[in-house]
Structure 1
Amino acid sequence: MTPPDYEYLRKLLKDQSGLDLSADKQYLIESRLLPLARKAGVPGISELVQKLKSGAAALAAQVVEAMTTNETFFFRDKIPFDHFREVIMPELLRARAGRKSIRIWCAAGSTGQEPYSLAMCLKEMGAALNGWRVEILATDLSQEVLEKSRAGIYSQFEVQRGLAIQMLVKYFKQIGELWQINPDIRAMVQHRQLNLLHDFSGLGVFDVIFCRNVLIYFDQETKMTIFNRLAKAVEADGFLVLGAAETVVGLTDAFKPFPERRGLYRPNEQRAGFAKFRPLEAAAPKFSAIAGL
């Protein structure tokens, strides 16, 4: 791979996905794109670049998918789910008692482990959510990982990562050597393909946004832009959950850290112009129906 080829791919990835590769990541490009080059019928990266330059849009989408990191597992990092159970849901149950509805967005939901972990947390709350309407929206740039998320089928290795055996037995059914999450849990999660670089105002406004371990791959300017757009997508008293290596500090004043809760943020009361609550086109059924309560 020549330096011009690498620079072309760096620009393509940044423009289409926000992924900001440093100058020393040629090895990463080669390890992930060589299999794609062979699949496309060309011997190497330089020939793949030539095909991309000829206007192969479908191939460009495959390049982005191959380079996008989809590392995830159930209840990843544990702390955000502690926040969800101990802080977020108790506060929202009080604050939303009048309307009995909660909207949750998992941005970059990948193959579904995060949104399904949240769904299991909600299921564990039992009668406390009886009669409530709870929506979980999972979005991702990759259509391939969204299809896996919709199916909810995981290998033995995948269910062993972060998932307690009690939860596995309770919420999954074994199919040969694979495990499929139960239909009532799958029904709690809606899926949409979405690029965070594009306008997402049409999704409406959420009470909770999980946007973990994706912005670390973006440059500072892109992070600032997305944070400010996320601020318009969360309710005034809602929550933003970031990954352990991510922060809003020094990037935006639209959010402020939640005291003594690492990775948890709330909108800054001093900012103005909150959007009004607006659900998805297809309204979710009440939680009692989708959770089997």
Structure 2
Amino acid sequence: MTPATFTVLTGIVKQRSGGVINPDQGYMLETRLAPLLKREGLPSLDALAARLAAPRSDTLAQEMTELLTTNESSFFRDGRPFEHLRGFLPALHRARPPGMPLRIWSAACSTGQDAYSISILASELGEADPGFATRRVEILGTDICGAVLERARAGLFTQFEVQRGLPIRTLLKRFTQEETRWRIRPEIAARCRFERLNLLGDLRALGRFDVIFCRNVLIYFDVPTKARVLDALADRLQPDGALYLGAAETALGMGARLAPLPGERGVYGLGMEAERLRA
């Protein structure tokens, strides 16, 4: 692979997904794109770059982008965000009029573990509080990658996947075993729907959300792209809502619209509301 080919391929990925691939990650292109080269009958990544320069290559470019997108997730990942959400959702429930759903967005949802973890948490809250049980909770999971969305919609996970973050009691109560795999129960899946979406696109049609999870995706963006995405997420957040980022991510220094909620790491509100909560 020539330096020019690396620039072309990684430039397409950045334009389509925002993800930045550094020169020392060239091995990732070789390994992840090998099946694509074989299927297309292309002898090298240089040949792939030439094909992508030809007309009507949009589908191939999107497939390449998806193959180079990192899709890593686990149930109740990092723990602390869900502990905060356990107290935050009842507060939102009390603040909303009867009949208004709580809308939650799991952005860059991968295979759906964050979305399903939130739905499991909503069930636990409803079992503890009959009032919360009457509140409709709508969870939207979005991702740029069609393959992981299909897996999310299926709600079927391997033994390895359910062992990551799920207590055995929760696993047995919220999943059913199908041979060597585990399927999320219908009452948990019913709150969740999954759609294809690019965070760099126009998000206005989504409406506003009470909670947004966008975790462990900003780490793949450069600073201007991070700022752009965070601004778009702020546009989609209710004034008293919360945005949850990954443990290694921050909105600080990316503009004044988002401010950390008091005492919390990786949880942000719109500036004026976050300052009110801090007072």
> Which TM-score tier does this pair reach, normalised by the shorter chain?
over 0.9
Give the CA deviation at 1:53: 1.6
1:50-69 map, 5 Å: 50-55=50-55, 56-69=57-70
Give a deviation string over 1:58-115, Cα, whole Å, max 9, x none: 21111011001100011111111111113x2132122114554211000001101110
1:119-130 map, 5 Å: 119-125=119-125, 126=127, 127-130=130-133
Query: How many Å separate the matches in 2 of 1:269 and 1:178?
Result: 46
Residue equivalent to 2:223: 220
* Identical aligned residues as a percent: 45
Amino acid corresponding to residue 31 of structure 2 in structure 1:
S
Amino acid corresponding to residue 261 of structure 2 in structure 1:
F
Residue equivalent to 2:37: 37
Residue equivalent to 1:252: 255
Shifted more, 123-132 versus 144-153: the winner is 123-132
SS of corresponding position for 2:259:
strand
Query: How many Å separate the matches in 2 of 1:159 and 1:36?
Result: 30
Give a deviation string over 1:145-174, Cα, whole Å, max 9, x none: 111101101111111111111111001111
Residue equivalent to 1:103: 103
Task: Could you tell me which runs of 5 or more consecutive residues in structure 2 were left unpaired when the two chains were aligned.
Answer: 275-279
Give a deviation string over 1:226-260, Cα, whole Å, max 9, x none: 11111111111110100011111111110111111
Q: Flag the 1:99–1:237 CA change in 2: closer, same or farther, 3 A.
A: farther
Shifted more, 26-35 versus 91-100: the winner is 91-100
Amino acid corresponding to residue 72 of structure 2 in structure 1:
E
Residue equivalent to 2:135: 132
Q: TM-score, normalised by structure 1?
A: 0.89
Query: How many Å separate the matches in 2 of 1:50 and 1:210?
Result: 38
SS of corresponding position for 2:23:
coil
Residue equivalent to 1:290: none
Amino acid corresponding to residue 69 of structure 2 in structure 1:
T
SS of corresponding position for 2:272:
coil
Amino acid corresponding to residue 219 of structure 1 in structure 2:
D
Root-mean-square deviation over aligned CA pairs = 1.5
Shifted more, 121-130 versus 172-181: the winner is 121-130
Q: TM-score, normalised by structure 2?
A: 0.93
Query: How many Å separate the matches in 1 of 2:180 and 2:233?
Result: 40
Residue equivalent to 2:198: 195
Task: Could you tell me which runs of 5 or more consecutive residues in structure 1 were left unpaired when the two chains were aligned.
Answer: 272-293
Shifted more, 63-72 versus 26-35: the winner is 26-35
